[in-house]
Amino acid sequence: MKTYIQKINPFLWFDNEAEEAVEHYVSIFKDSKILKVARYGDAGPGPKGSVMMISFQLEGQEFVALNGGPHFKFTEAISFVINCETQEEVDYYWNKLTENGGSESQCGWLKDKFGLSWQITPAILIQYITDEDSSKADRVMKAMMTMKKIEIKPLQQAYNQ
C-alpha cells in the first residue's frame, strides 16, 4: 500500500519557536493536527532533545516547521491566503492571527506574532475585483485600498453604487 505524500509543502524556518508556532496555528484552524516531530540528537546543531522539525496540517494542507536558528526571517514576499466566506470568518482569523503581538497591515494583510504574513481575503472581494464591469471592479479596489482588515459590507456598497 502506497502512502500519499503531498508533492509540495511550505517549509517555514523559525529561530527556535517552531513548536510554539505550530501549536498556535493548529489551535486556530479546524481540521488541523501535528503529524510528526523530529528532535535534534547528538549531531546537533540544536540542543539535544529540542525540536528540530515538525510536520503539521492546516485544513488538509501539509506544512513543515524547522527550528533552524536566527539566520533567516520571514518577509512579506511570501504569505498565506485564507479564503473566507463571511465577515465573521474574516474577523475570526484576523483576530486570532493578530493577537499577542501580531500586527495589522493594509488590504487584508497581517503578520502574526512569529512574523509570518497572512492575507485574510473574503471570496467576494476576488469576485468583485475580477468583474467584467471595470467601473465596479475599480470602485471595489478603491474601497479595499482604504482598509486594513477587509470589511465586506463597504465592498458590497462600492460594488452596487
Residues 58 and 101 grouped into a single domain: no
DSSP one-letter string for 34-65: EEEEEE--TT-SSPTTSEEEEEEEETTEEEEE
pLDDT over threshold 80, residue 3: no
User: How far is C-alpha 39 from the geometric centre of its chain's CA atoms?
Assistant: 25
**Over the stretch 110-124, which tens digit does the pLDDT of each residue have?**
999 999 999 999 999
Residue 1 pLDDT = 67
Shared-domain flag, residues 79 and 5: no
Burial class (CB in 10 A: 0-12, 13-18, 19+), 29: middle
Cell of 16: 527556535
Looking at 72, 101, 123, the residue that finishes a domain is: 72
- Model confidence over 10-60: pLDDT tens digits? 999 999 999 999 999 999 999 999 999 999 999 988 889 999 999 999 999
Q: pLDDT tens-digit profile of 78-97?
A: 999 999 999 999 999 999 99
27 and 4 housed in the same domain: yes
Containing structural domain, residue 158: 74-161
| The model's pTM | 0.92
Identify the H or E element spanning 117: strand 117-122
Domain CATH code at residue 154: 3.10.180.10
Task: Report the domain count for the chain.
Answer: 2
Q: Which pLDDT value is given to residue 44? A: 82
For residue 5, the model assigns a pLDDT of 77
Do 25 and 91 lie in one domain? The reply is no
The residue among 72, 105, 124 that closes a domain is: 72
- In 3-state terms, what secondary structure has residue 89? helix
Q: Could you tell me if 10 and 59 are in contact, meaning their C-beta atoms sit under 8 angstroms apart?
A: no
Task: Say whether pLDDT at 137 is over 70.
Answer: yes
| Residue 2: predicted pLDDT | 65
